[in-house]
Amino acid sequence: MKSNKVNRNVGAAVLFLIFGLLFFVLIVRFLTIQITGQVEGKALAAKAAHKYLRSEILDAKRGTIFDQNGEVIAEDTDSFSLVAILDKKMTTDPDHPHNVVDPKMTAEKLSKYIDMSESEIYDILNKKGRFQVEFGSAGRDISVETKKKIEAEHLPGITFKRESKRFYPNGVFASHLIGYAQKEEDKDGKVKTIGKMGIEKSFNSILSGKDGTLQYDSDLWGYLLPNKKEMVKKPQNGSDIYMTLDKKIQTFLEDSMNQVEEKYKPKKMVAIVADPKTGKILAMSQRPTFHPSTREGIADNWHNLNVESQYEPGSTMKVFTLSAAVESGAFDPNERYQSGTYYVGKSPIRDHNWGAGWGKITYLEGVQRSSNVAFVKLLEKMGDDTFKDYLNRFGFGQPTGIDLPNEASGNILFKYPIERATTAFGQGTTVTPMQMIQGMTAIANNGTMMKPYVVDKIVNPNTKEVKKTQPEVAGHPIKPETAKKVRDILGTVVTAEHGTGHSYALDGYSVAGKTGTAQIPDPKTGKYMTGNDNYIFSFAGMAPKDDPQLIMYVAVQQPHLQQNEEGLPDSGSVPVSMIFNPVMKSSLQYMNIKPEKNISAKITKVPDFKGQNIGSIPDNMKKDGIDLVKLGNGTTITEQLPAPGSNLLEGEKVVVKTNGPMNLPNMTGWSKRDVLKVAELENLKLNTMGSGYVVSQNLKPDSPVVEGDHLVVNFMTPEQVRTKKENDKIAKEKQKGEEATPQD
């Protein structure tokens, strides 16, 4: 008994000591915290302050991309996402509900404004256990106007989330140059707009700006405490970028390329319009392309072909071979050479008509006809080293340095004699479209070559600082007088009888330029592809010729050439000219470049010839602008077209009918308008085929005709006539197994 009492006393003493020690430790800990204000080296006051300190991110506005005139190309805009609150706990006052109380009525109203059926909306609004719901893609990107209409319905529980989105108001518009931006979540969970291609990517840091912050002390529920101030660090909005592009000219280009794409469905197309005096790129596009808002079509091609692709240019390269030859004194326009086929070692260089040539012709005609042999001979006259020096001066084989990513440099093949020869006419050696534009600035700008650029200025909205891009001279490859001579020669490519550039003539503006038809290497065989469509058709041109205000390069790869009315395939110049001609002419007119001459036909009043003796008509009638054509073997004029007193255009014929037996004149070269006069006066049943001018008629000239006879007349344009003659000649002279060479 006594032993038990002792044991209990000992146990109580031990417990007393343990609890006393714990109490002592707690007192010491409390006093330590009270005196130092720290726990484990961390200030409790700071932790408490941090707990009740609220911080929010103030988003910086992404910079806007403009054209050079301040027209918007890409900008941030507000959009809204539709949200429905379903949780009844959000409503504290039944008279002013904050949740959806009538799903059926709400679904009926919303179906008028979003692309979703009433039943689909009703199903979403009836989801159980959800605090709030959204409506997928149909409920996103709600415009301000639609938002206001929905708000006017006063639907309980319906609210909106404000978001910003990148907006491209022009749709397909220099898409690979401008690129696109999209929202992405970073490692901290912050959603930001990031540039993924083109200018949006290259200048992402400049466009993005820096986010700001908002900090304030709050109570337990997050509300601002009384007498406490907000601490605001304002965001620095992204800088605005002004491109060198001109919206009008870019639109001309996009529209023309759309038409060619729809009609000829080429594999690829590139086109650039530039100011040769500054190097500004005024328009630039390509196909395939994509819509920057929806990204539709982007999978077809990610690359900016105008700066990232390199290819064999074909005969447009002859512009620079010609420039080198003129500058070095090797080009004599009146000197003659033997066209056709020329051997470099054992390798034949053939003109584009399968080596048949055109006999002994001048070098000027050789340029006009785009003779490969002429340019190989010019290379021999000036020497390999001289030619290579000029290629370097024009910037080939090296990037232009334009402010765009992934620019290719091209490759000059110059090791072997045959490589040097083919480089002279654009085969083997590769270039980029941007290099072609840079080189052409020297021809158009009197020998001063300008570096191309696409960003005109950058404006910081926070500091108002403006960084203006100044035009930069890239070199002086040729003298001013050489540039003028080359422009004059290239002008004859468009105007001369044998010129390959007739398709590129513009009404009111003189054009200087060079056509190109480059072969395409087949990656499977290593040889060049064959077939009418398997070429890159191109044109490098400028206008007006004497003082070019614009230069333009267009290349169309493998268009599906169609048959014209005569059953002949369209020439490769047709799809290229469908881009060059309207864009160049519309742009010059838009820039208020006055036509060099007013092209107006001379108009003459038609005399009254009825009742007159055909022998009494003066022989000098043509001096008065009247070309009189007699029908029939009679002596007295009974009818005429056009009628007396009508306006007669220069070159139009006056057809008169006499009282004798009818016959048919030789109408070769006539216009359709004049043929119609004959058919009407002789009462013939006319059937016309084609367009242009008469090339054949079924009834022989001077043969007798009677009323009701069938007259069939075939028409062709001058270009179609030339093409047919060339094709007929090729068909006769072509030998099996011969390799094709670049043609124009």
Architecture of the 603-722 domain: 2-Layer Sandwich (3.30)
CATH of domain 56-178+195-238: 3.90.1310.10
Q: What was the pLDDT predicted at 333?
A: 94
Q: What was the pLDDT predicted at 729?
A: 58
Strands (E) across 324-448 are located at: 336-338, 341-344, 347-350, 360-362
> pLDDT tens, 508-549?
999 999 999 999 998 888 888 888 889 999 999 999 999 999
Q: What was the pLDDT predicted at 732?
A: 61
Helices (H) and strands (E) in the chain, counts: 20, 33
- Class of residue 393 by CB neighbours under 10 A (exposed 0-12, middle 13-18, buried 19+): buried
Q: What was the pLDDT predicted at 231?
A: 59
* Look-up of token digits 């050479």: 337
How confident is residue 221, by pLDDT bands cut at 50, 70 and 90?
A: very low
Pick the more confident residue, 575 or 712.
575
> pLDDT tens, 451-480?
999 999 999 988 888 999 999 999 999 999
**Of the candidates 532, 559, 568, 533, the residue with the CA atom closest to the CA atom of residue 690:** 568
In Å, what is the CA distance from 63 to each residue of 75, 155, 208, 462?
A: 7, 36, 7, 11
pLDDT at 73 over 50: yes
Q: What was the pLDDT predicted at 680?
A: 86
Q: What was the pLDDT predicted at 314?
A: 95
Q: Phi and psi at residue 586, in whole multiples of 5°?
A: -65, -35
Q: Which two tokens stand for residue 466?
A: 């403006």
CA dihedral (374, 376, 380, 382) in degrees, to 10, reads 70
Q: Kindly state the average pLDDT of the residues 14-27.
A: 76
How confident is residue 228, by pLDDT bands cut at 50, 70 and 90?
A: very low
How confident is residue 175, by pLDDT bands cut at 50, 70 and 90?
A: very high
pLDDT at 612 over 90: no
Mean of per-residue pLDDT scores for the chain = 85
Query: Can you give the C-alpha Rg of the chain in angstroms?
Result: 40
**Percent over 90 (pLDDT), the chain:** 48
Of 184-188, 435-439, 492-496, 498-502, the poorest mean pLDDT is in 184-188
Q: What was the pLDDT predicted at 678?
A: 86
How confident is residue 96, by pLDDT bands cut at 50, 70 and 90?
A: confident
> pLDDT tens, 98-124?
888 899 999 999 999 998 999 999 999
pLDDT at 54 over 60: no
Pick the more confident residue, 203 or 236.
203
pLDDT at 254 over 60: yes
**Of the candidates 476, 311, 331, the residue with the CA atom closest to the CA atom of residue 390:** 476
Strands (E) across 621-702 are located at: 627-631, 637-641, 647-649, 653-658, 685-689, 693-697
Q: Are 538 and 314 in contact (CB under 8 A)?
A: yes
Q: Are 178 and 168 in contact (CB under 8 A)?
A: yes
Of 18-22, 108-112, 408-412, the poorest mean pLDDT is in 18-22
Look at the domain 247-590 and name its fold.
Beta-lactamase (3.40.710)
Indicate yes or no: pTM above 0.85.
no
Pick the more confident residue, 88 or 732.
88
Q: What was the pLDDT predicted at 255?
A: 95
Q: What was the pLDDT predicted at 310?
A: 95
How confident is residue 650, by pLDDT bands cut at 50, 70 and 90?
A: low
Of 178-187, 246-255, 599-608, the poorest mean pLDDT is in 599-608
A 10 A CB-CB count for 261 gives: 17
Q: Which of 79, 202, 309, 315 is catalytic?
A: 315
Q: Kindly state the average pLDDT of the residues 149-164.
A: 87
Q: Is 285 a catalytic residue?
A: no
